[in-house]
Structure 1
Amino acid sequence: MLYHIFYALRDVFTPFNVFQYITFRAGGAVLTSLIICFIIGPYVIRKLTELKVGQTVRTDGPATHQCKSGTPTMGGVIILISIVSSVLLWARLDNRFILWLIAGALWLGFLGFWDDYLKLKGKNTKGVSAKGKLFFQTVFAATLAAYLSAFPANPEYATLVNVPFLKSFFVNLSFLYIVFAMIIVVGSSNAVNLTDGLDGLAIGNIVIVAFTLAVFAYLAGTVPVANYLKIIPVSGAAEISVFLAAIVGSGLGFLWYNSYPAQVFMGDTGSLFLGGVLGMSSIFIKQELILLLLGGVFVAEAVSVMIQISYYKRTKQRFFRMAPLHHHFEMSGLSETKVTIRFWIIGILLAILSFASLKLR
């Protein structure tokens, strides 16, 4: 919005020319979303407490988590409001990627909100059924994949997937790319959701991933730089960095309240849409496999659940002490804060490795 208002007046007041720069607007998005979190956070937390919108804790989980029962959840509304408001202010609203990211945030945010609402209404850990949740995620992912099939991010590389660390090496998925894109969106949405089990764990890693993808988006959208680095250039992709910058700001703001001991949980209201938009961003900038590396913490959490379920069905025994993976380490004797910080450290190392892939080819 600010771009469309002030950049049009640059001939009247030359300093307004600064609104053309994505780095300037990305910085504005970080600060705005952070400030919005600080402003509305206490109010939302207070209202959630008054409404008794409290978390129901699994009885089969670590005993130390039982004291968290009743902590306000659905705090994802803080993140959603701050991100969307910031993006509407600082991003170019004529950019198709921005419009899709806003749509994805709202769709998956509402799905998560409805899931949290049903859990609270029933006073248990069950909300929208797994099949129902997967259905609505898949509907959106399929719509997005169909759109990209008709209007690809880069027509020359429409169905190609770049393999990190290999120079100009691509895998052509042909018609299967549609399915691949759907898996990325749905998988990332659910992986972040599964990671959100310890104070600050998910949101801390989301900030790391969002910042790294913001850099990749800026590089992919800057054609000369993209060509130099041998990554797929995508016209308009640099604008995605403004959206991702808003996630960084809101993530840091939410971490203020979500750090141990948490005053509020994001719930599915936050985790489903945050994971989804990260997956969407990686598809838009044609860095799908980088997300698997960069989001290794989320991938490990999701894989641990799949292994646990599969192993239990075959042997009637548990492979891990408890899934997702962060609970396994808790049950093994590590404190919650130690697990969280170590997972952050791993996330930072994976981000560094992802950046290294730009030159190690």
Structure 2
Amino acid sequence: MLYYLFRFLDQFGIPGSHMWAYISFRALLALILSLIISAWFGEKFIKFLKSKQITETQRDASIDPFGVKKIGVPSMGGIIIIVAILVPVILLGRMRNIYLILMIITTLWLGLLGGLDDYIKIFRKNKEGLQGKFKIVGQIGLGLIVGMVLYLSPDAVVRENLTIQKQGQEMVVKHRSKPVKSLKTTIPFVKGHNLDYSKLMGFCGKYKTAAGWILFVIMTIIVVTAVSNGANLNDGMDGMCAGNSAIIGVALGIFAYVSSHIEYAAYLNIMYIPGSQELVVFICAFVGALIGFLWYNAYPAQIFMGDTGSLTIGGIIAVCAIIIHKELMLPILCGIFFIESLSVIMQVYYYKLGKKHGVKQRIFKRTPIHDNFRTQQSQLDPECKYLVKKPKGAIHESKITIRFWIMTIILAALTIITLKMR
């Protein structure tokens, strides 16, 4: 809203109003505003939740190796993150931008889905929360909406094959194509960087483009579901998910910025995506909200984000990557989420395999994998066979969290480096 107000005032030469045309100004303002909102609103919200006793049953001192009590800590802290994202975005963003609209829909959709899950856990006293099939349906529904909007919207276009030529003392960007609907996506470590979904469906003959869009929509559904569930699994320690997601958000913000900047896109030989600069405003609000939330969520946590936060965070990361055609780089960028999910899948499969043969067996001491490092040998089931019993002693969760942050920083740096590795 403020963007349109100051753009209007700029017509009358009001000093400073022209600054609202700069994406860097609005993005940094969104970062600061979201951080302030999450810190200020977070304190008020925590007091409110405690007064209403809106808490989720968590582990207590009897099972925590370091005797940390977490009963009575408020949950549903994801509401803080959502509010801190949406307020700056609505104030500072160009609300007619199709990509910004998609990000707001994603935030509200998965926030509602996660909130329903937390509501069942807290108010209905059902530890299982919302049934898994309903979560999957909600995630598939969002993926379908995002995929179809990117297919149907005339504003969701790219410019490919940009070159920079020197004319005298000036560098001029030359377009070798008009804005087009593109089925190409960026892949790492490959010359040319791009993979075309329609070429993968070449066996469909003259229908390969239509089949390519179907494949794209299916891929969108898979990415949204996988990343949101991965973030949900990663949310098991104080500050873990928020910290990792903030780091991932910084990397996505860099990708969004270079994709929206015609000269940088040409220099890096990546797709130029007109309008994607508004994603930078959204991602800055996203990162600011997570950093502000960490003020209360860092060890020892004063509040948990719950599924309201974790599902929303994962969905935001997934949809942003899809919009800027970087979804196939998520296995590297979100490597921690991928490992967490893989550890659970492996553990369940191995346990069921042993059950068929009457053997009680597990791969890790506990999953998701971060819980494996927090579990002591004395907590293991003596009747169960474990493939991995290391580390023998429990590692403090604050150290585990920081080490996971470091790994995410390395993965984010590697992902950014792939822009120049071909």
Mapped contact 1:57–1:66 kept (Cα < 8 A): no
1:156 Cα deviation from its structure 2 partner: 4.5
Which is further off, 280-289 or 138-147?
138-147
Cα separation, 1, equivalents of 2:22 and 2:67: 46
Cα separation, 2, equivalents of 1:80 and 1:312: 37
Match of 2:190 among 166, 173, 181: 166
Matched letter for residue 374 of structure 2: E
1:57 Cα deviation from its structure 2 partner: 2.2
1:183 alignment partner in structure 2: 222
Match of 2:407 among 332, 338, 346: 346
Paired positions, count: 361
Cα separation, 2, equivalents of 1:56 and 1:106: 25
2:57 alignment partner in structure 1: 56
Mapped contact 1:57–1:125 kept (Cα < 8 A): no
Give ranges in structure 2 of 5+ residues lacking alignment: 159-178, 198-211, 356-360, 376-390
Matched letter for residue 16 of structure 2: P
2:374 counterpart SS class: helix
1:161 Cα deviation from its structure 2 partner: 2.5
Give percent identity, aligned residues only.
39
1:324 Cα deviation from its structure 2 partner: 0.5
1:61 Cα deviation from its structure 2 partner: 6.7
Matched letter for residue 150 of structure 1: L
Give ranges in structure 1 of 5+ residues lacking alignment: none
Match of 1:336 among 390, 393, 397: 397
Mapped contact 2:255–2:324 kept (Cα < 8 A): yes
1:3 alignment partner in structure 2: 3
Cα separation, 1, equivalents of 2:332 and 2:31: 24
2:170 alignment partner in structure 1: none
1:21 alignment partner in structure 2: 22
Question: Residue 356 and residue 169 in structure 1: after superposition, are their counterparts in 2 closer, same or farther (change >3 A)?
Answer: closer
Does 2:299 correspond to 1:263? no
Mapped contact 2:238–2:297 kept (Cα < 8 A): yes
Match of 2:270 among 231, 245, 250: 231
1:41 Cα deviation from its structure 2 partner: 1.0
CA-based RMSD: 1.7
Matched letter for residue 6 of structure 1: F
Question: Residue 144 and residue 246 in structure 1: after superposition, are their counterparts in 2 closer, same or farther (change >3 A)?
Answer: same
Does 2:369 correspond to 1:325? yes
Which is further off, 217-226 or 307-316?
307-316
1:193 alignment partner in structure 2: 232
1:305 Cα deviation from its structure 2 partner: 1.1
1:33 alignment partner in structure 2: 34
2:347 alignment partner in structure 1: 308
Mapped contact 1:229–1:359 kept (Cα < 8 A): yes
1:149 Cα deviation from its structure 2 partner: 2.3
> Structure 1-normalised TM-score?
0.96
Bigger helix share: 1
Cα separation, 2, equivalents of 1:143 and 1:61: 43
Question: Residue 299 and residue 52 in structure 1: after superposition, are their counterparts in 2 closer, same or farther (change >3 A)?
Answer: same
Matched letter for residue 363 of structure 2: F
Cα separation, 2, equivalents of 1:344 and 1:61: 25
Task: Kindly provide the CA deviation profile for residues 283-328 of structure 1, in whole angstroms up to 9, marking residues without a partner as x.
Answer: 0001112222111111111111111111112123211111101001
1:276 alignment partner in structure 2: 315
1:93 Cα deviation from its structure 2 partner: 0.7
Cα separation, 1, equivalents of 2:193 and 2:100: 28
2:281 alignment partner in structure 1: 242
Mapped contact 2:82–2:309 kept (Cα < 8 A): yes
Cα separation, 1, equivalents of 2:40 and 2:298: 17
Matched letter for residue 372 of structure 2: H
Cα separation, 1, equivalents of 2:120 and 2:321: 31
Cα separation, 2, equivalents of 1:149 and 1:70: 46
Mapped contact 2:139–2:225 kept (Cα < 8 A): yes
Cα separation, 2, equivalents of 1:263 and 1:52: 13
Cα separation, 2, equivalents of 1:186 and 1:51: 32
Question: Residue 313 and residue 61 in structure 1: after superposition, are their counterparts in 2 closer, same or farther (change >3 A)?
Answer: farther
Task: Kindly provide the CA deviation profile for residues 266-287 of structure 1, in whole angstroms up to 9, marking residues without a partner as x.
Answer: 0011111111011000000011
1:169 Cα deviation from its structure 2 partner: 3.8
1:161 counterpart SS class: strand
1:171 counterpart SS class: strand
Mapped contact 1:199–1:258 kept (Cα < 8 A): yes
1:71 alignment partner in structure 2: 73
Matched letter for residue 364 of structure 2: F
> Structure 2-normalised TM-score?
0.82
1:125 Cα deviation from its structure 2 partner: 2.2
Matched letter for residue 268 of structure 1: D
1:157 Cα deviation from its structure 2 partner: 6.4
Mapped contact 1:56–1:124 kept (Cα < 8 A): no
Cα separation, 1, equivalents of 2:233 and 2:157: 29
Mapped contact 2:59–2:71 kept (Cα < 8 A): no
Task: Kindly provide the CA deviation profile for residues 171-197 of structure 1, in whole angstroms up to 9, marking residues without a partner as x.
Answer: 333231211111111111111011000
1:81 Cα deviation from its structure 2 partner: 0.6
2:185 counterpart SS class: strand
